[in-house]
Each structure stands twice: as structure tokens, then as C-alpha cells.
Amino acid sequence: MQQTGREPMTAAGKKRVLSGITATGRLHIGNYIGAINQWADNQSEYENFLFVADLHALTIPEAVAGKNLRARVEEIFALYLACGIDPEQSTLFVQSDVAEHAELTWLLTCVTPVSWLERMTQFKTKGKVADVDAGVGAGLLCYPALQAADILLYDPDLVPVGEDQKQHVEITRDISQRFNAMYGETFKLPDVMIPKSGGRIMGLDDPTAKMSKSTAEKSPGHAIGLLDPIGQARKSIMRAVTDSKSGVDFSDELAPGVTNLLTIFECFTGTTRDESRERFDGAGYGVLKGAVADAVTERLGDIQRRYHDIADDRTHLNKLLTQGAERARNLAADKLSQAYRAAGLR
């Protein structure tokens, strides 16, 4: 990938990381394994800017219509904290609390060819679900410009995404290069950061489909929410799809559902596939599911206790929301001013 040649704007020589989760649906263990837990693990290694993407939630308004979106946003924010994100080490904020995201989006929208937007997988798949002919909003088409603004405001070095989401960062790089070519060098081109493991946790009811917040709202057995009752979480795991065999057989190709359960177990226990082979080869699926359920529910219990402590202290939570927005805004405002000057608006 081509680089701009500019030095990273980081603290204490750390590379800067930017990431967020859209506030549609409630967080589940796929979000935890693939993103939040890894953010917590690397926050001493990187300079993290982590946000709750509430503006992105509006790209499909029917997904949030009639719901208290702000309450869900604050729930996710509190869960970030409960999962181990330290607001003293990481800049943690809500997207709409930093107006520069919306402002820069317009500048980037104006330099982004429509053909680039139409080729995006997100528009093709969600557009079909929402039924474009029925009048889906233009936000669904233009969301890559908002996503690019999210990233480019902070000059990050790395953007963590799953293998299936690399296209999101690639179009941000394309938009950045086009803006720079038109108005002069303004934005740094970020690189993709692929999680080492667990980046793609599959549905418990359909292990060929990625675990999804939207699907979880329609199919209770699809995912395990971070705030699900412990008994419900255990039941969902014990009912997870495997295959027609009676147990785990490492001498043959493992079924997608079995592989998914092993991945979840390994991510929650910090063990390797070789250790799983030694423990579960020849074991019945009930044994495997019971071990996964024990590991998951133990972690969920810890997260939920911390979450309720955080959510119940409204004064402290509001202080952290304000503090995070101010820290993010300090950096975003400088970059937005630079972009305005480059475009001849100041």
C-alpha cells in the first residue's frame, strides 16, 4: 500500500489505532472476541481512539426507529468500560458528541464518486434488505464518506477490521488519496489491522453466517449478548448447531459449528487449537458445549457485574462521556480546520 511518507502523530512513539462499533442491536460475544477484548489487550501497546458509532446507526433508520438510541449508545459505552477499556489509556467517545465527524463527512462526500459508493458490499447487501425501491435513505449509500471521516479525523496508523471488512478501509484510503490529489496533502493513509484470532465468530444457530446484532434481534439462539441472563447464555450454547456425529473428531474435517465452538472456547480461555485437540478429541458434543458454556458464562458474570456498577453511577458515566468527547474533539477540530483550509473554505 502506498504511504504518504508523513510521520505518525502518536503519543510516546505508539502507533495510533481507530475503531468503533455501530449502535444497532446489543453487543454480543462476537463483538467482544473480535473487537472489544482485543482493544483492551492492546491499549498499553497502541494509542487507541475508540467510539460508539451512533450516526452510522441512522443509515438504516428502521433499525433504530421507535427505540431510545441514546440509551443504547450509553449501554455500549458502559460495556466498553466493563470489558476492560481504560478511559485513562484509551480515548473513548460517542461519534455524535464530536460534531467534526458530520462536518468532515460533507467534504469527503463531495469528492467521492458515486460509482465508488455503489460498489460497496454494505450498500449492496443492506440495500436489498431495506429494499432500495421502497425508499432507503441516501445515508446507506453515502456511509463510506462518514466512515472515512471517522478514520481520517484522527490520523490513525491502523484500523482493526475483520478479513471480510478490508473493503471499508480500502475505500477510506481511496477517498483520502482523491482529496489529497485535489486539494493538497491533508490526510494520512491508514493501514488495515487484522485480528490475530477470533475475528469472525459465527452464529450458534447457523455457523455458516457471521454472528450479527441484527440477526440476534430476530433469532434468540443466534448469538449470546453480553448482557444476556447467564442461564439463557448457557442454554444457547448447549443448543448450538454442530453436525450429525456424536462427538469431536480431529482426524476428520471439523464441521463449521464445531470449529466455531472451539474458537469461542479458545478465545475465552486463552488456549490454542493444539490444546483443544488434546482436551476434546473424541469427547462428546455435550462435553465441548459444557466447557464453552462454563468459560463464556464465567466471563459474562464478571462483565455484567462491572457493567451494572458503571451504569448505576450516572454522574461518573456522564463525566467519562464528556471527557472522552473533549479529548477526541481536540484532535478532530485541528484536522477539520486543515481540511477546510485545503478546500479553500478558510
SS (H, E, C) the chain: CCCCCCCCCCCCCCCEEEEEEECCCCCEHHHHHHHHHHHHHHCCCCEEEEEEEHHHHCCCHHHCCCCCHHHHHHHHHHHHHHCCCCCCCCEEEEHHHCCHHHHHHHHHHHHCCHHHHHCCHHHHHHHHHHCHHHCCCHHHHHHHHHHHHHHHCCCCCEEECCHHHHHHHHHHHHHHHHHHHHHCCCCCCCEEECCCCCCCCECCCCCCCECCHHHHHHCCCCCCECCCCHHHHHHHHHCCCCCCCCECCCCCCCCHHHHHHHHHHHHHHCCCHHHHHHHHCCCEHHHHHHHHHHHHHHHHHHHHHHHHHHHHCHHHHHHHHHHHHHHHHHHHHHHHHHHHHHCCCC
Which of 197, 202, 143 shows the shortest CA–CA distance to 175?
Answer: 143
pLDDT one digit per residue (tens) for the chain, 346 residues: 333 334 444 566 899 999 999 998 899 999 999 999 999 999 999 999 999 999 999 987 766 766 789 999 999 999 999 999 999 999 999 999 999 999 999 999 999 999 999 888 766 666 544 454 556 788 889 999 999 999 999 999 999 987 777 888 999 999 999 999 999 999 999 999 987 665 689 999 999 999 988 888 888 899 999 999 999 999 999 999 999 999 999 999 999 999 999 999 999 999 999 999 999 999 999 999 999 999 999 999 999 999 999 999 999 999 999 999 999 999 999 999 999 999 999 9
Cα distances (angstroms) measured from residue 57 to each of 3, 28, 31, 62: 31, 17, 16, 10
Phi, psi for residue 48 in degrees, rounded to 5: -90, 135
The domain segmentation of the chain, as residue ranges, is 16-196+313-342, 213-309
CA atoms within 13 A on the CB side of 155: 23
Which of 327, 318, 257 shows the shortest CA–CA distance to 292?
Answer: 257
| Parallel/antiparallel/unpaired status of strands 191-193 and 16-22 | unpaired
Between CA 236 and CA 225 the distance in angstroms is 10
Cell numbers that stand for 40 in this block:
483492551
Predicted TM-score (pTM) of this structure: 0.90
pLDDT score at 11: 60
Positive or negative torsion for Cα 219, 225, 231, 235: positive
Q: Which residues carry out catalysis?
A: 126, 210, 213
pLDDT score at 216: 85
pLDDT score at 5: 38
Q: Domain 16-196+313-342 is of which CATH architecture?
A: 3-Layer(aba) Sandwich (3.40)
| Parallel/antiparallel/unpaired status of strands 91-94 and 191-193 | unpaired
pLDDT score at 12: 64
- Please tell me the CATH code under which domain 213-309 is placed: 1.10.240.10
